[in-house]
Amino acid sequence: MRLTKRRRSTMADMNMTPMIDIVFLLIIFFMTVSQISKVNHERLQLPQQEGSEDQADGRVTVNVRQNGEIVVGGKVLSIDRLIGVFSNNLAAVGDDPTQMTLILRGDRGARSETANEIVDAARQLGISKIYVTVQVPR
C-alpha cells in the first residue's frame, strides 16, 4: 500500500502568440529603419583616411556621385535646389546656422569642384559644421 501521493509536476503553459507578434513587429521595424538609412548612404567609394568616422548626428547628408551629381535623400538636385534645402533646414532650426550640420560624402573618383561648390554654398548661409566623410583603410 502506497501512503505518499504522487507529485504531479505543474508546468505553467505559456502563450506564445504575443511573443510572435512582437517578433514580427521588430522585424518590420528594423527592415524599415534599414531602408531609411540606405537612402542617406549611397554606395560610394569614399576616400581613405585613418582616424575618421561617419557622423551619425547630422541634419543634412549630401552625396556627390562620381559623375558630379548631387544627391540628397535619394533625389538628384542642382546646386540651386541644394541651397533651397539648406535654407529649409536652417528655418527648421530657427535660422541658427550653428545648429545645422552638413555631412558631405563624395565618391573617391569625383572631381572636387562639386564638393567645393557645396561647401561655398553652405558657408554663404553661415553653416560652419561641415564634415567630409572618408573610409578607414583596412
128 inside domain: yes
Task: Specify the number of domains making up the chain.
Answer: 1
Report the residue count for the chain.
138
18 inside domain: no
Per-residue pLDDT of the chain (138 residues; tens, 9 = 90+): 566 666 666 667 778 888 999 999 999 988 887 766 666 666 777 777 665 444 334 468 899 999 999 999 889 999 999 999 898 888 888 888 888 889 999 988 888 899 999 999 999 999 989 999 877 776
> Which of these, 111, 110, 108, 105, lies nearest to 131 by C-alpha position?
105
60 inside domain: yes
22 inside domain: no
Domain encompassing residue 113: 43-132
32 inside domain: no
* Digit-coded pLDDT (tens) for 61-77: 899 999 999 999 889 99
* Digit-coded pLDDT (tens) for 121-136: 999 999 989 999 877 7
CA distance 74 to 124: 24
The grid coordinates of residue 80 equal 540651386
Contact between residue 97 and residue 125 where contact means Cβ atoms under 8 Å apart: yes
Pairing assessment for the beta strands 101-106 and 129-132 based on DSSP bridges: parallel
99 inside domain: yes
* Global pTM value: 0.59
1 inside domain: no
DSSP letter for each residue of 50-77:
TT----SS-SEEEEE-TTS-EEETTEEE
The grid coordinates of residue 137 equal 583603410
Which residue in this structure is represented by grid cell 544627391?
A: 71
CA distance 105 to 132: 6
pLDDT at 4: 67
- Tell me the β-bridge partners of 60: 102
55 inside domain: yes
Residue 52 sits in a domain whose CATH number is: 3.30.420.270
